[in-house]
Amino acid sequence: MRRLKTAVGVLVSLVLIAVVSVIVVLHRDPGSITLPVLGPECTVGPEGEVTLDLAQMANAATIAAVGVRKEMPEQAVVVALATALQESKLENLDGGDRDSVGLFQQRPSKGWGTVEQIKDPRYAAGKFYTALKKVKGWDKMRVTDAAQKVQRSAYPNAYEKWADEAKVLAEALVGNATGAVACRVTGDPALRGTAAAAALMAGLKLDWGKKLDFASEQAAGLTLAVSNTSSGWRYAHWLVSHASATGLERVRFGDLEWHAPDGKWQQVTTPGAPDNRRVVAEVFN
């Protein structure tokens, strides 16, 4: 018992020394050390009702974009997101029950496609929407019942617990909420300059296809001309959701601006009327 008390005392002393050392370093040179970022990387909704990590957020945005591209109503996006939340927690899984893979845990042996195809979030989401569209009266069903008609899960009621979160995500990602997707991206950017701008443009084209409004690419980023406020927030939220992998630093739409390091939407401070016809994305140089 005495040895245990001694060991605990030594451990506590070491922890105190470490804490004091960090405080001293920060006092002498605040920029010399980077403390870990606490809290969720992404929050969605006016009150931050849904929290996701950066990979989950990107997958959610892609699922929503594919739904819009296929001209599915917002409720279809709700069902798809609730399904992916239950099946994979919005993570593109390499495996699962039997031969299930991907966001929706679709099975090659059941005709959903090859493993490589199903592991592509755009393909997987497209197959889900195609199957959902074939379900008669799906849009009048509970979320869990519509999902079950597609998935045929051993736990048919499990999808319903994600319905509220899926509604919050869908509302933001189809563009029916303002400044609702806030992701904090810290550390060195994945890409810079023209490579980052090219990655953003490529991702937009893959997710949105012919639904993409006019977009022009520049070395510092890209600009999207939009027809209305809803489409503007649709793209603005998509951009923020995919910021981590593309080197995106800043997004502006209307009178709001998002900045990667702090991850929040703030009022634009530059003079002039709000621009509701363009979404401007700037990448790290």
Look at residue 216 and tell me whether its pLDDT is greater than 50: yes
Q: How far apart are CA 167 and CA 184, in angstroms?
A: 22
Pick the more confident residue, 106 or 24: 106
Q: Which of 86, 41, 90, 45 is nearest to 63 (CA)?
A: 90
Q: How far apart are CA 114 and CA 253, in angstroms?
A: 39
Q: What is the mean pLDDT of residues 227-247?
A: 96
- pLDDT tens string 31-79: 433 344 455 799 999 888 999 999 999 999 999 999 999 999 999 999 9
Q: How far apart are CA 48 and CA 61, in angstroms?
A: 16
Encoded tokens for 239: 């951009």
- pLDDT tens string 91-112: 999 988 889 999 999 999 999 9
Contacts of 205 (CB under 8 A, 6+ apart): 212
Q: What is the mean pLDDT of residues 126-148?
A: 98
Would you state the pLDDT for residue 239? Answer: 98
Would you state the pLDDT for residue 207? Answer: 97
Q: How far apart are CA 152 and CA 110, in angstroms?
A: 11
Burial of 151 (0-12, 13-18, 19+ CB in 10 A): buried
Contacts of 213 (CB under 8 A, 6+ apart): 224, 225, 226, 227, 231, 235
Identify whether the C-beta of residue 172 lies closer than 8 Å to the C-beta of residue 44: yes
Tokens 């605990």 -> residue: 8
- pLDDT tens string 170-207: 999 999 999 999 999 999 999 999 999 999 999 999 99
- pLDDT tens string 109-134: 999 999 999 999 999 999 999 999 99
Look at residue 257 and tell me whether its pLDDT is greater than 90: yes
Q: Which of 23-37, 114-128, 139-153 has the lowest mean pLDDT?
A: 23-37
Q: What is the mean pLDDT of the chain?
A: 88
Report pTM: 0.85
Largest CA distance in the chain: 74
Would you state the pLDDT for residue 39? Answer: 57
Look at residue 7 and tell me whether its pLDDT is greater than 50: no
Would you state the pLDDT for residue 247? Answer: 96
Q: Which of 110, 84, 107, 89 is nearest to 97 (CA)?
A: 107
